[in-house]
Amino acid sequence: MKQSQEQSLESLFFEEAAGRVQSLLESFESFKATGDGKEAILRLLHTLKGSAGMVGFQEYAEKIHQLEEQFTSADHTDAKGLKGLERALKELISQLKVERVSAETDSTDIVPKTPFSMAQRLLASVSKFETLLEDWRTARQTGGATKDLRIKTELAFGSELEELRKHSFRLAFGYPDDLFAGLEELVRIVATAEKKRVKLTSRANANYLLREFIPEFRAALIHLLSNSVVHGLETPEEREAAGKDPVGSVVVVVEAESNRLSLLVSDDGRGVDMKALEARYRSENRQRDWSQLSEKERMNLLFHHGTTLRENTSVHAGRGVGLSAVRETAEKFGGEVVFEQREVGSCVRFTVPSPFFVMDCLVVECGGNSLACLAGSIERVEELGDKELPTLCSLLNLGDDSPDLPKFVLWTDKEKETGVSVEKCIGLKELVVYPMPILDGLPEAVVGLSDFG
């Protein structure tokens, strides 16, 4: 890995770790007092361990793994044992803080701008707005509000508004690459430890992701990728014996849809050992018999804390914590996670609702209305000619106050001649779209609202 990339990943690790340390301490205090919080501690440690391994901090990954081992058998009534755990935990946190200061000192402008620097730019733009407004008020009061000054002020306001939009956008959104950073290194480390060969492919159909999703999605990816490499994929020898490529494949896909964001992690491995899962379930003496469980209920067992099909633990797996942490993250955002068996391998689909999304849209005019059509839904645009097609306004039940006739057709399926007509095509624009709730009388074609600016 190049030095510049290492610096960027280290900074990202410490930024994420800082947010988990406080939760770790709070959970530990709860565990000391009541015995509750052990599962939360194990999930946080497991995530932190994976993040450390991702950036090559194997020494820290080993230390965190040792803490996991200790916490697994910890008893909150054992005062002496708790003191030792608390000392080890605080020592680890102290070392992480020292390393963070060192990493921040050594970092250069190669590291992406933090939200804090963008927040400062936002404040600067607001300050300029206030100055422009005050100057304009003063000019009006003193009789200096000439036409030239008004035009100059309007242009200045427009320029600052564009800056404000740009900085607000970057504060709210990050790139898929921010989510994917370091994943190849993580897979390489885990695959090497498991004596496997793995190829990772990552792609996204979204240009941007909400920043608040990125740290949580990264944490989920750490667990899901480790799970695929450790549990899903076979060794090269096993794969060749099964007639497969000796190099296993793991694919990460981010899908942005009308009102939700999905993260899919799939592999071409052996899938879930259902016999082992059944044996594990029966050994726990559950009330319902295995035969009474649906396929979905059986797969959901994998997300229960402590469920693992591996006999031995390692730095990378074996505690039944990772998938439990993924489910907790999905539920935190009001989403869900589903484990799917496939003909070859398996797939975990992690889905959360999204309050808004960014899409490429074609802005058009129809019946005196400015409308935006998702570019991905348009196959082709051409002149209408003598074709007779419904107008976009009629499809959306909008009034038509324009004297102009439709001039263009937006084909959604050229072969089937499915499309709509519009009067003008203004051009492509990247828009923040707010999903629409399902309302009576609202056409299905309406997926959201946006400010065209």
Residue 315 has a pLDDT of 47
Superfamily per CATH, domain 176-353: Histidine kinase-like ATPase, C-terminal domain (3.30.565.10)
Amino acid identity, position 296:
K
pLDDT digits (tens, 9 = 90+) for 264-320: 999 999 888 788 778 888 877 777 888 888 888 887 777 776 556 555 555 455 455
Give the separation between CA 375 and CA 359, rounded to whole angstroms. Answer: 8
- In CATH, what is the architecture of 3-106? Up-down Bundle (1.20)
Q: Report residues of the chain scoring pLDDT below 70.
A: 1-12, 15-16, 19, 54-56, 97-120, 258, 305-322, 400-402, 435-453
The number of helices, as runs of H, and strands, as runs of E, in the chain is 14, 14
pLDDT digits (tens, 9 = 90+) for 405-433: 888 888 877 777 788 888 888 888 877 77
Q: How far apart, in Å, do the first and last CA atoms of the chain sit?
A: 42
Report the candidate in 221, 137, 142 with the shortest Cα–Cα distance to residue 176: 221
Residue 239 has a pLDDT of 94
198-204 vs 248-256, strand pairing mode: parallel
Q: Is 37 left (phi over 0), alpha (psi -120 to 50) or beta?
A: left
Exposed / middle / buried, residue 47 (Cβ in 10 Å: 0-12, 13-18, 19+): buried
Give the separation between CA 38 and CA 343, rounded to whole angstroms. Answer: 37
Residue indicated by tokens 């009102």:
259
For the chain, the domains span 3-106, 115-174, 176-353, 358-449
Question: What's the pTM value of the predicted model, to 2 decimals?
Answer: 0.63
Give the separation between CA 438 and CA 34, rounded to whole angstroms. Answer: 45
Report the candidate in 101, 421, 357, 409 with the shortest Cα–Cα distance to residue 210: 357
Residue 244 has a pLDDT of 94
DSSP 335: -
